[in-house]
C-alpha cells in the first residue's frame, strides 16, 4: 500500500457530500489538501480557515480560467499534485422527449468537460509523481440506464470513457485511474429521492473509505472501476 501521508490531493466539489467526506478521510490519512468549490466560503464553513496543509480555491467548471488558477494555486502552496479527484458534478431532468438544449449543454460542461480539462491541467504533475492517481466520481448511471434523465446518464457514461482513456495514456508514467460508480448516496443531493429510503442508501463516509483504499493501492494493483450497490442490481 502507498503511504498517503503528505500526498497532495486536489478535490473539486469538496464543500459537501462525497467530496467533503473524502476530504475528511484523506485529511485523517495525513494528506495535504487542495479543496475546490464554486464558493470558497462554503469550504471555510465546512472545514474552518485555511491551514498550511489545507488550501481553498474557487473552481467553477463553467469558467475555464478557474482551472488554471486552481492548479497554479495548488502548486504554489504545495509544490506538487499527486492525486486528482474529479468530484464536482450536476444533474437535471433533461430527457429524450423534454428539456431545453441549455440543460443538456450544462451537464456536458460540468460532468464531462470539467473532468477532462482538469485532467489535462494536472497530468504533467501527476506524471512527475510516479504514482499519480485520478479518481473520477461517476455513478452507476454511467454503467446502466434506469431512469429518463438521459443527459445525466450520457455524461456519466462519457466520464467512464474518459477514465479509461486517461488510464491508457498515463499507465507507463505510473498514473492509475479509478472510476467510482455508486448507486444512491445519502447526501443533500439525494434528499428528494424516493426510490430508496435514506437509511438504505450508501453512506458518504463508507464511500470515502473505499475510495481511500483505491488511492492507496500500489501501481501493481489498480482498480479501474469500483461499482458500489445499495440495492440488488444486475452487473454488466
Query: Is 152 annotated as catalytic?
Result: yes
Answer whether residue 22 is part of any domain.
Answer: yes
Per-residue pLDDT, averaged over 96-114, amounts to 98
Domain count, the chain: 1
Q: Which of 4, 52, 22 is nearest to 218 (CA)?
A: 4
Q: In the prediction, which pLDDT does 68 show? A: 98
pLDDT tops 80 at residue 236: no
Asked if residues 160 and 112 have their Cβ atoms less than 8 Å apart, the reply is: no
CATH of the domain at 111: 3.40.50.720
pLDDT 10s digits, 3-29: 999 999 999 999 999 999 999 999 999
- For 152-202, write each residue's pLDDT tens digit: 999 999 999 999 999 999 999 999 999 999 999 998 777 778 889 999 999
Which residue segment(s) compose the domain that 139 sits in?
8-228
From 152, 176, 182, 211, the catalytic residue: 152
Q: What is the pLDDT of residue 64?
A: 97
Percent of the residues in the chain that have a pLDDT greater than 90, as a whole number = 94
Is 235 a domain residue?
A: no
Check if the beta carbon of residue 211 is closer than 8 Å to that of residue 21.
Answer: no
Amino acid at each position: 500500500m502507498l503511504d498517503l501521508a503528505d500526498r497532495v490531493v486536489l478535490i473539486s466539489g469538496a464543500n459537501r457530500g462525497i467530496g467533503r467526506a473524502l476530504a475528511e478521510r484523506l485529511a485523517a490519512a495525513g494528506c495535504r489538501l487542495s479543496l475546490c468549490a464554486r464558493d470558497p466560503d462554503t469550504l471555510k464553513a465546512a472545514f474552518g480557515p485555511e491551514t498550511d496543509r489545507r488550501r481553498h480555491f474557487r473552481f467553477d467548471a463553467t469558467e475555464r480560467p478557474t482551472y488554471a488558477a486552481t492548479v497554479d494555486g495548488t502548486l504554489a502552496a504545495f509544490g506538487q499534485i499527486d492525486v486528482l479527484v474529479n468530484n464536482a458534478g450536476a444533474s437535471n431532468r433533461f430527457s429524450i422527449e423534454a428539456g431545453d438544449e441549455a440543460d443538456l449543454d450544462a451537464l456536458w460542461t460540468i460532468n464531462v468537460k470539467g473532468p477532462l480539462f482538469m485532467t489535462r491541467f494536472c497530468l504533467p504533475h501527476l506524471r512527475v509523481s510516479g504514482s499519480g492517481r485520478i479518481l473520477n466520481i461517476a455513478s452507476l448511471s454511467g454503467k446502466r440506464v434506469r431512469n429518463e434523465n438521459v443527459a445525466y446518464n450520457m455524461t456519466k457514461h462519457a466520464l467512464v470513457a474518459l477514465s479509461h482513456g486517461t488510464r491508457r495514456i498515463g499507465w507507463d508514467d505510473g498514473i492509475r485511474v479509478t472510476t467510482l460508480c455508486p448507486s444512491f448516496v445519502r447526501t443533500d443531493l439525494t434528499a428528494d429521492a424516493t426510490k430508496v429510503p435514506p437509511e438504505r442508501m450508501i453512506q458518504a463516509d463508507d464511500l470515502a473509505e473505499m475510495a481511500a483504499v483505491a488511492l492507496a493501492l500500489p501501481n501493481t494493483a489498480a482498480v479501474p472501476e469500483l461499482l458500489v450497490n445499495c440495492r440488488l442490481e444486475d452487473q454488466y
